[in-house]
Amino acid sequence: MLIYVLVGLVGVFIYLFIFWRKLKEDYVANQVFTTGLLSVLFGILAYIVSSRFLPVWWFWLSLIGFSGGLSLGIIKYHMRGYETAEAAGIAILPWMFLIFITDSIINQSVYSFLYAMTVVVAGVVYLILNNKYKEFSWYASGRVGFAGLTALGIFFLLRGVIAFIFPNMISFVGKIDTLVSGMVAFVLFLSVFNLAREK
């Protein structure tokens, strides 16, 4: 149990650092770190509640809590939604990777390793698109958010596929996870489409 706590703390520090680094040019450090801490705090509280009452839903309830805390920061400091959501979504990937790669090592779980690799795929997609998206002629707006939202959309799309094949994998709630993950992926890709149309 202690190793999971230590890995979680390392993940939180990495998350906050990446989140701050991506937003430091547009917002003061206090605003960024407060928003980041709100998302972490709400996510952890949601996880604690879910582990007590709805343990199989821990991933989704933690995500809802995390998003709620992030939204509070966005509203409080009048931050740009797409840009902040992208920063948070990308910053949380290393945290998730550490959790699942640790579980795969300790419990020799192939499922957790597969999930960790899905996180890696999303991260690689982000790094590639973040360097190239301004060259896409069809992405006329050139607004920040494309790379992150696309990478997160691919993550949830892959998650849905894996949930369909391995419904008993950790963090999945059965094949219904395929539907929920697919809906989240659709919303993310729709957001990318809307970004592309904005001037």
CA distance 26 to 82: 13
pLDDT digits (tens, 9 = 90+) for 97-123: 999 899 889 888 887 888 889 999 999
| Helix extents (H) in the chain | 2-23, 29-53, 58-77, 81-106, 110-132, 146-165, 176-197
Closest C-alpha among 148, 151, 180, 149 to residue 163: 180
CA distance 184 to 188: 6
Give the Cβ contact number of residue 121 at 10 Å.
Answer: 13
CA distance 48 to 41: 11
Model pTM score: 0.86
Q: Write the CA distances from 197 to 129, 132, 150, integer angstroms.
A: 18, 18, 15
Residue 3 banded pLDDT, cuts 50, 70, 90: confident
pLDDT value at residue 173: 57
pLDDT value at residue 199: 55
Instruction: Say if residue 92's pLDDT is above 90.
Output: yes
Q: Write the CA distances from 127 to 25, 57, 103, 151, 195, integer angstroms.
A: 19, 30, 25, 9, 19
Check: CB of residue 26 under 8 Å from CB of residue 11: no
pLDDT value at residue 107: 85
pLDDT digits (tens, 9 = 90+) for 131-183: 776 666 655 555 667 788 889 999 999 888 887 776 555 455 566 778 888 89
